[in-house]
Amino acid sequence: MGDFSLSKRILVTGASSGIGKSIALGLWNAGYSVVANGRDESRLSDLAAQSNHQIEMVIGDLAEALTVDRLHDSLYSKPDSYPVLINSAGIAAFSDYGSGTVADFEKQILVNLTLPNRLIHRVLPDMLHRGGGQIINIGSIAAVNVFAGADAYSASKAALHSLGRTLLAGHRNRGLKLTTVICGAADTPIWDSMPEPPDRAKMLSPQDVCDVVLFLLNLSSSANIDEITLLPQGGIL
């Protein structure tokens, strides 16, 4: 374990399902203090039940300033804890560029880039004031290996990746630890609406991503991994 691991207070977005839910439960099982955010009250209720109601739930849309404020306050509700933000919320829709609308494109930019940025912008000043904190952005291999039909998704994830690098360049000397987890295809509900997805049996599991997050949280305070690539055993599907 890292030398300050169990003093951490961890905020996980996108915790209603998929990777975010797996991370929230995995961190709670490891003994961490967890705050989970999502928009779906019924799914978050299921997560609460699985954690014996010990994970703190903040139901709300990250597009609403009130939700962002509530998440900030929950993250910093324990004065002596080390703050960690895990941006897991995201969406994906795949189609030929010309067949989608501008609104469709911009929705993915909003959810995958703008909303994580709003939350980072809200919590980062207090991280730096405390002498440090940790941000883990769940990214995508589509940021660095583009795919036809994934224009908005690739662009949004590439921008999130670049944002993480820029934040580190400006603030790592003030105690900021930040990692972008560049994920390959993972078996989550994101594929449910796709008529012919890749073979889901060959994908990463959400637990695989959680295991990487646990590894990052257990690093000593003197170490940081700027980015880490996690692919299925078979590579890019």
The set of catalytic residues is 153
Q: With H, G, I as helix, E, B as strand and everything else as coil, classify residue 85.
A: strand
Rounded Cα gap, residues 59 and 129, in angstroms: 27
Residues 6+ apart with CB under 8 A from 116: 13, 62, 87, 89, 137, 160
Report which DSSP code applies to 110.
I
HSE, side-chain direction, 13 A CA sphere, residue 6: 4
E strands, the chain, are 8-12, 33-38, 56-59, 82-87, 133-140, 176-183, 227-230
Distances (CA, A) of 183 to 7, 38, 80, 142, 228: 27, 21, 32, 8, 8
| Closest C-alpha to 33, from 8, 58, 52, 15 | 8
What would the two tokens of residue 34 be? 């967890």
